Amino acid sequence: MTKFEKSYIGKGKKVQGMNIVKVTVPLEKLQEIAYEYDGVAYVTFEIAEMKETDQFGRTHACYHSKMLQEAQAPAKKAKKLKSIGKKASPVEPLPF
């Protein structure tokens, strides 16, 4: 199972009467999570509505998710089926 680690980088609030969320994020935090792809610098982050408005009226949290690699449990071994006395014929290769 894939797990993610969230790093909160800022907060914001919904603009009254509009479907817009205005967030403030320190530039240093954005530079820490910036990456380059095909010579262009990008920053990817998520904005989620908080359960409760904080003391400053902020309604949304801004965070960066980092995928964590998890050690996988060894796969279960398949059970061996009992033979019914007939030998299986060789499998022919697929025509493609």
Tell me: the pLDDT tens digits for 2-15? 888 888 999 999 99
Domain ranges of the chain: 3-68
Higher-confidence residue of 88 and 48: namely: 48
pLDDT at position 92: 59
Q: How confident is the model at residue 82 (pLDDT cuts 50, 70, 90)?
A: low
Q: For residues 33-47, give the mean pLDDT.
A: 92
**85 class by beta-carbon count within 10 Å (0-12 exposed, 13-18 middle, 19+ buried):** exposed
Average pLDDT over residues 51-64: 93
